[in-house]
Amino acid sequence: MSETRYKLHPVSAVISFVKGLKDLIFPIVILFFVGGSGGSDGGFFSYLPYIFTGLALLLYLVSGLIKWWKFVYWFEDGELRIEYGLFVKKKRYIPFERIQSLDYTESIFHRPFGLVKVKVETAGGGIGEAEAELTAIRLEAAEQIKQEMLAAKRQTVTVSGEEMVPENESPPIQVKVPTDTQVLYKMTTKDLWVLAITSGGIGLIFSGAAFILSQFSEFIPYEAIYDEVVQFLRFGVMIVAAVAFAVLLITFLISVGLTYLQNYGYTVTRDERDILIQRGLLEKKRTTIPMKRIQGIQLVENPLRQLFGYVTIVIDSAGGSVKEKSETVKLVPLLKKEKAVELLTELFPEWEWNPEFVRAPKRSKKFYYRINTTSLLVVGAVLSYFFYPYGLLFFLLVPLSFALDLWSHRSTGIAVYPSYAVMQYRFISRKTVWLEKKRIQAQVQTQTFFEKRADVASLHATIKSGALGSHHSLKAMGATVVNETMQWFLPKR
């Protein structure tokens, strides 16, 4: 292994500075609201917001420069070693055999210089962050880390005696590109637009706007806004409806645009041991999923996409960090169901991708709608009493909830094979989950008093996925089916 020490690219200082600015946005805005705009009337205190803002910006800039200056990495004794810190030096040694994947990201700061951000993921990665992160290095240097990792895992010795570069330069690397790389899926323009239109990101935009408003709730003049709204409503229903439609349309177009940019050029490839996902227009991301980390496969169908025969393939993967949500990865965000079955058959030919399910019995229907319908009736009665007659509109949700619960009952089923089980259930989207027997961490059977009288029971299975696990449940299945599944899960003597 080479003991030459390598540095990050100077752009990493800029990236650290910009990342710090995002943390300062809310404090700075609040500081200006509290301190006022300042000037000739407020004296020295009116300039405090500007002084604190300037000091904070300077602090983040200096911090970014120090991080770039003191951050070095090298390879030694089969490990990726990292050292950083000015007053308190920190060292991190990561054995190559523990590294599960190297994920690359190319933002608008990386692409002009041919750089990438590398996240080092291990099987026991920490909660909230990757095992290590190299903010900005050249793609060749990132590929060198990959080659060193593969060489260590194959227990080969790197050829020594090559000419090394100084510490402040990127290492010259001759990368061997695997010849057996196979393209599994590449999203077409048509599918990309269908994905963007049916993404449902409009809810996320409204949630984000609500979060931002909540941060400044004490500064928002709600009474004045209410008076303006009352005046506006006097213009008539048609104008109000037109404005509401315009707001929804703009939000929808923003959601479509963001989804398009995030998933542009979505490509899935595979080599002898990993699945590689590449996507993004402004910010390119490359995610590596080792085949041996895959714990379960999900086919997710929301009602709109199910109507047109589209599904999403989701992989449950061991390891990863909670903050980056790497415990579940979308292998394919949108694909016709028959093509998804073909793709999965190619990846896992030993599994059955058109299983025959044992469905929940008819006698279990009441366990799906009884609690939800009763709760809605009680809430509707309370609202109708205090807000009559407008509270009566709440009862419109009762038939919708009842229909959704019956649909959920029809979608619930299980198919058990010698080495794996397939569970299907629905909340709003229908999920079909393939769980390998040896990957299931825990399987639990529950049965209430009323379920026992109806001869039904519920089944819960958990697999390792991220730090929290992935949980799947079937409600009110036949008791005999659940008992047989529990016996199937027990280890053979």
Q: Are residues 334 and 380 part of one domain?
A: no
User: Tell me, what's the pLDDT at 166?
Assistant: 40
Cβ of 341: how many Cβ atoms within 10 Å? 15
- The answer as to whether 454 is a domain residue is yes
- Domain shared by 206 and 317, yes or no: no
> Residue 221 has what pLDDT?
54
Q: Are residues 208 and 254 in the same domain?
A: yes
Q: How many domains does the chain have?
A: 4
399 in the same domain as 252:
no
Query: First CA to last CA across the chain, in angstroms?
Result: 46
Asked whether the beta carbons of 465 and 433 are under 8 A apart, the reply is: no
90 domain-assigned: yes
User: Do residues 29 and 41 both lie within one domain?
Assistant: yes
Q: How far apart are CA 419 and CA 415, in angstroms?
A: 11
Radius of gyration for the chain, computed over Cα atoms and rounded to the nearest angstrom:
28
**Would you say residue 218 lies in a domain?**
yes
For residues 242 and 238, give the distance between their C-alpha atoms in angstroms, rounded to a whole number.
Answer: 6
Structural domain for 36, as ranges: 6-102+133-164
Domain assignment of residue 283, yes or no = yes
Same domain for 84 and 150, yes or no, is yes
Amino acid 226: pLDDT: 55
Which amino acid type is present at position 119? K
Specify whether 288 is located in the same domain as 321. yes
Last residue of a domain, one of 237, 263, 289: 263
Q: Considering the domain boundaries, does residue 93 fall inside one?
A: yes
- The set of long-range contacts for 32-39, using a CB threshold of 8 Å and a minimum separation of 24, is 33/216, 33/219
Per the domain annotation, does 450 fall within a domain? yes
Burial of 48 (0-12, 13-18, 19+ CB in 10 A): middle
249 & 316 share domain:
no
Distance CA 441, CA 431 (A): 20
Q: Tell me the CA distances in angstroms from 330 to 120, 306, 392, one per residue in order.
A: 19, 17, 41
Name the nearest CA neighbour of 277 among 97, 470, 105, 464.
105
In the chain, % helix, strand, coil (3-state, to 5) comes to 45, 30, 25
User: DSSP character for 85?
Assistant: -
Residues 354 and 285 in one domain: yes
Query: Would you state the pLDDT for residue 29?
Result: 66
The encoded tokens of residue 165 equal 């570069």
Measured distance CA(143)–CA(139) in Å, rounded: 6
pLDDT of residue 44: 60
**Residues 335 and 404 placed together within one structural domain of the fold:** no
pLDDT values of the chain reduced to their tens digit, one per residue, 493 residues: 456 888 999 888 888 888 877 777 766 666 666 555 444 455 566 677 777 777 878 888 888 888 889 899 998 888 889 998 888 888 888 888 888 778 888 888 888 888 999 988 876 555 445 678 889 999 888 888 888 888 887 764 444 334 433 444 444 333 343 446 788 888 888 888 888 887 765 555 555 555 444 544 444 555 555 555 556 555 566 676 777 778 778 877 888 888 888 888 899 998 877 888 988 888 888 888 888 888 889 999 988 888 888 999 998 887 544 444 445 688 899 899 999 999 999 888 889 999 999 999 999 999 999 888 889 899 989 988 888 888 888 888 899 999 999 999 999 999 999 999 999 999 889 999 999 998 898 999 999 999 999 999 999 999 887 666 789 999 999 999 999 999 999 877 5
Those residues whose C-beta lies under 8 Å from the C-beta of residue 255, and which sit 6 or more positions away, are 196, 199, 200, 201, 202, 204, 205
Question: Do 404 and 439 fall within a single domain?
Answer: no
| Domain end residue (candidates: 263, 281, 298) | 263
CA angle 350, 415, 460 (to 5 degrees): 110
Residue 110 lies in a domain: no
454 closest CA partner among 368, 370, 358, 367:
367
Q: Which of 210, 231, 263 is the last residue of a domain?
A: 263
Same domain flag for 28 and 149: yes
Answer yes or no: is 125 within a domain.
Answer: no
CA distances from 332 to 117, 323, 344, 467 (A): 23, 22, 11, 23
